[in-house]
Structure 1
Amino acid sequence: MSWTPGDGPLRIALLTYSTKARGGVVATLCLAEALARAGHRVDVWTLARGGDGAFFRPVDAGVTVRAVPFPDRAGESVGDRVLRSIEVLGAAFGDHHSAAGGDDATGGYDVIHAQDCISANAVPDCVRTVHHLDAFTTPELVTCHERALRRPFAHVCVSAAVAVELAAGWGIEAHVIPNGVESARFAAAAGPAAAGARARWRGRLGRYVLAVGGIEPRKGTVDLVEAMSLLRDRLPAGEPAPALVVAGGETLFDYRDYRARVLARAAELGVEPVLLGPVDHAELPSLVAAAAVFAFPSVKEGFGLAALEALAAGVPVVASDLPVLREVFAGAVSFADGPAELAAALAASLTAPDPGRRAAGDSLAARHSWDAAAAAHAELYRGLLAQRRPAVSPTGP
């Protein structure tokens, strides 16, 4: 029987660099599960760092997880860790792919789709999702980033703004496929059945402004600390300032120096952030839904999945005024540029939330489904296969 791109389910490998709850990892798992629901055969490859045996959350049984052990090494530099990550993931994937039939459509993968710089360096002949473009200074990361853009034969961006950056800086044309969001999961956390879970967070933390993603330069944490200091004078007389709560933060890269500077500045300003670290997957929606405001002061983003989750939970969002966030969130969030504007927007959201933005946020979250994202990916994969692999028959070409 002749093989054509439209026949049967696709055999897809999605690759990510970590098992931790980072935005790109969350997106990889949600996409994998949606592709599996559509009938495709999906493997997710990842590096299991530091003794991890699984992802940060359970993965649907329809998805095969291939976690490659990646033990920590004391004193290893960021650059060396990046190079070892590429080597270990590439070796494990290469061994499996060769044993399964390599490029033969009946034994290997139809599509190899890398979701980040490390995995795009580790595997050959792949599709690459560029979630956002970074500016690194570590030499190994600079090389990794550049090669991970140049080597793939096709590219996906999760927003048009990043696709424009990719075209302008590298001459690469990308397919734009927005992320989805688990809107029902976060909406349920705002509903009556989850009132107890929200009350537990508020009992522990009081009234709070929430940021997710840890303390790192890309997340604009220092601006948020400055804004929280200014916020105290923008609230009505006698109204206590909310706490600043920061969740998440597991990453491959070393931001200890930045974290130390941010915490030192917070101490100077009398801001005492509550650092939760990674939050259990089952607890995250109620943490988000219990927040008074969700702060998203990033200086660089590719889409803004965490902000979309907050909108799904009915929480007002204050975001940096970036082109990509204007593209995704216009009309649904408050935009601010710099600490003073952040403070003003936070104060407005705390004292007089805009019902129009709430309705726009609900609508926006409802329009972004992972099933729609998976369908768009499958259509792209079939189109690429049609271009790259002609039909064959048992009697030859």
Structure 2
Amino acid sequence: MRIALLSYSTKPRGGVVHTLALAEALADAGEDVTVWTLGRDGDTGFFRRVDPRVTVRVVPFGAREGEGVGPRILRSIETLREAFDGRAYDIVHAQDCISANAAGECVRTVHHIDRFTTPELAACHEHAITAPYAHVCVSGAVAEELRDGWGIDATVIPNGVEADRFERAAADVDGTGRWRDELGRYVVTVGGIEPRKGTIDLLEGFALRERDPELRLVIVGGETLFDYRDYRARFDARAAELGVEPVVLGAVEHDELPLVVAAAEVFGFPSTKEGFGLAAMEALAAGVPVVTRDLPVLREVFGSAVRFARDRRGFADALAGALSEPDRHRERGRALARRYSWAGAAERHRELYRRLADPARARGGHAVGSTTTLPSTARSSSCATASPARDSG
């Protein structure tokens, strides 16, 4: 099959990591896969090397001085839409709201469901849920939200995990030792400082536990389309009030990330919305204790392999427990991470694609992979006027 996977960025965000790993696993299974994305900030390729069996198409997307979030979202959709032609593919699979709005008729993976206040973004997310002809969710909990909120039945295909990569990092004494020499003992979180990641809750939980002056809080990542400067200012002010000096590493090189995670004492995962929790699953593969927010989706995915917390006091207690009993869930966590492979995820996607591509199951006379677009005069307004009551990330 000729398969197009569409993403919105070349940066190391969860959906982009998912897209590349799935593309490579599909190519490994013999499929003809092309990944389409937008090249922001002058990017001409992804944050890491991509298997050459996967064709990569990066559409240039330059910055505009003073452009707000809403206009940037609409311009992102228009730019990708103008470059992409779905008629070249048997399956078009969008991985986020921007690419789903740009792709025309497509399959859509809904990684998690969220709320947004920017009207253009909220409405575009709504359209990106209702317009696709088939849906994938990476957990049953998110599929249930989709069913309850929109009456949509999604196919549940969990993420894969590069468990071997993180297990190798844990065994790399020199690599992890290098990070421990630089940072000392630390709790790490991946995802940056932003509201959905719940970073302030982790900060406060870190400060509430019994103080250990040698333990640090380290924050990795944070590439985003959105403007979270107000939240970052609140985070910095709260850190100063609490007397905590977090180490904000920002983006870390792809080959270094497993080492940073594996060298940590505990992995904190305070996200308020998740579809699967890939970063936390990678930490389990590295043998690092995980403390995560108590969400139905994370209960479903992680079971008894992690410690759960509901609020800052809960995070403080869970962090203390993980620090005092680091081995308690280690083997259980590693065994869980090994259960999820990208090869398995790719095969389940192939089964879905074959069903969708079967002419006998075609929807309403539309060929799979055909592209439908709104008239040029209505494209932007279609996102700006749809109901923003619910939206998806």
Q: State TM-score, norm by structure 2.
A: 0.91
Structure 1 residues 277-286 or 345-354, which shifts more?
Answer: 345-354
1:156 aligns with 2:136: yes
The secondary structure found in structure 1 opposite 2:114 is coil
Q: Please list the CA deviations of residues 181-237 of structure 1 after superposition, one character each: whole Å capped at 9, or x if unmatched.
A: 11110000011xx1111111111111000000000001111101111110134xxxx
Distance (Å, rounded) in 2 between the aligned partners of 1:259 and 1:184:
34
User: Which residue in 1 is equivalent to 2:54?
Assistant: 63
Q: Which amino acid aligns with 2:156?
A: V
Matched, 1:254 2:219: no
Structure 2 residue corresponding to 1:180, chosen from 160, 174, 183? 160
Gap regions ≥5 residues in structure 1: 1-9, 103-107, 234-238, 393-397
Instruction: Describe the SS at the equivalent of 2:304.
Output: coil
Asked if 1 retains the 8 angstrom alpha-carbon contact of 2:163 and 2:285, the reply is yes
Q: Secondary structure at the match of 1:243?
A: strand
- Asked which structure has the greater RCO (Cα within 8 Å, sep 6+), the reply is 2
2:254 equivalent to 1:281 = yes
- 1:58-97 deviation line (CA, Å, top 9, x unaligned): 0001100000000111111000100000000000003xx4
The within-5 A match list for 1:29-40 is 29-40=20-31
For 1:211-250, what aligned pairs fall within 5 Å after superposition?
A: 211-233=189-211, 239-250=212-223
The SS at the match of 1:294 is strand
Alignment of 1:101-250 (within 5 A): 102=87, 108-191=88-171, 194-233=172-211, 239-250=212-223
- How far is the alpha carbon of 1:180 from its aligned partner? 0.3
Contact 1:302 1:324 in 2 (8 A): yes
Rounded Cα–Cα distance in structure 2 between residues aligned with 1:302 and 1:291? 24
Instruction: Note the C-alpha offset of 1:241.
Output: 4.8
Give the % identical residues.
Answer: 65
Contact 1:211 1:295 in 2 (8 A): yes
* Distance in 2 (alpha carbons) for counterparts of 1:354 and 1:151: 47
Paired residue secondary structure (2:65): coil
2:343: which partner in 1?
Answer: 371
Task: Confirm or deny: 8 A CA contact 1:232 1:241 kept in the other structure.
Answer: no
Query: Partner residue of 1:7?
Result: none
Q: How many correspondences in the alignment? A: 363
2:45 aligned with 1:54: yes
Please say which of residues 34-43 and 360-369 is displaced more in the overlay: 360-369
- State the partner residue of 1:24: 15
The alpha-carbon deviation at position 240 of structure 1 amounts to: 3.1
Aligned partner of 2:173: which letter? A
Specify the SS of the correspondent of 1:329. Answer: helix
Paired AA for residue 144 in structure 2? V
CA distance in structure 1 between the partners assigned to 2:177 and 2:334 by the alignment? 22
2:188–2:218 CA contact under 8 A, matched in 1? yes
Which amino acid letter does the alignment assign opposite residue 207 of structure 2?
Answer: S
Q: CA deviation at 1:324?
A: 0.3
Shift of 1:134: 1.4
Determine if contact 2:184/2:214 at 8 Å carries over to the other structure. Answer: no
Distance 2:181 2:338 in 1: 30
- Paired with 1:134 and 1:339, the residues of 2 have a C-alpha distance of 22
Asked whether the equivalents of residues 288 and 326 of structure 2 are also in contact (C-alpha less than 8 Å), the reply is no
Partner Cα separation in structure 1 for residue 124 and residue 72 of structure 2? 12
Letter in 1 for 2:203: V
**Contact 1:231–1:241 (CA under 8 A) maintained in structure 2:** no
* Runs of 5+ unmatched residues, structure 2: 368-393
Code of the residue aligned with 1:388 in structure 2: it is A
Shift of residue 354, structure 1, vs aligned partner:
4.0
Which one of 230, 239, 249 corresponds to residue 266 of structure 1?
A: 239
Partner of 1:86: 77
Preserved CA contact (<8 Å) 1:228 1:343:
yes
Verify: 1:338 aligned to 2:311, yes or no. yes
In the aligned structure 1, how far is the partner of 2:27 from the partner of 2:341?
Answer: 15
Distance in 1 (alpha carbons) for counterparts of 2:349 and 2:223: 28
Q: 1:316 aligns with which of 272, 284, 289?
A: 289
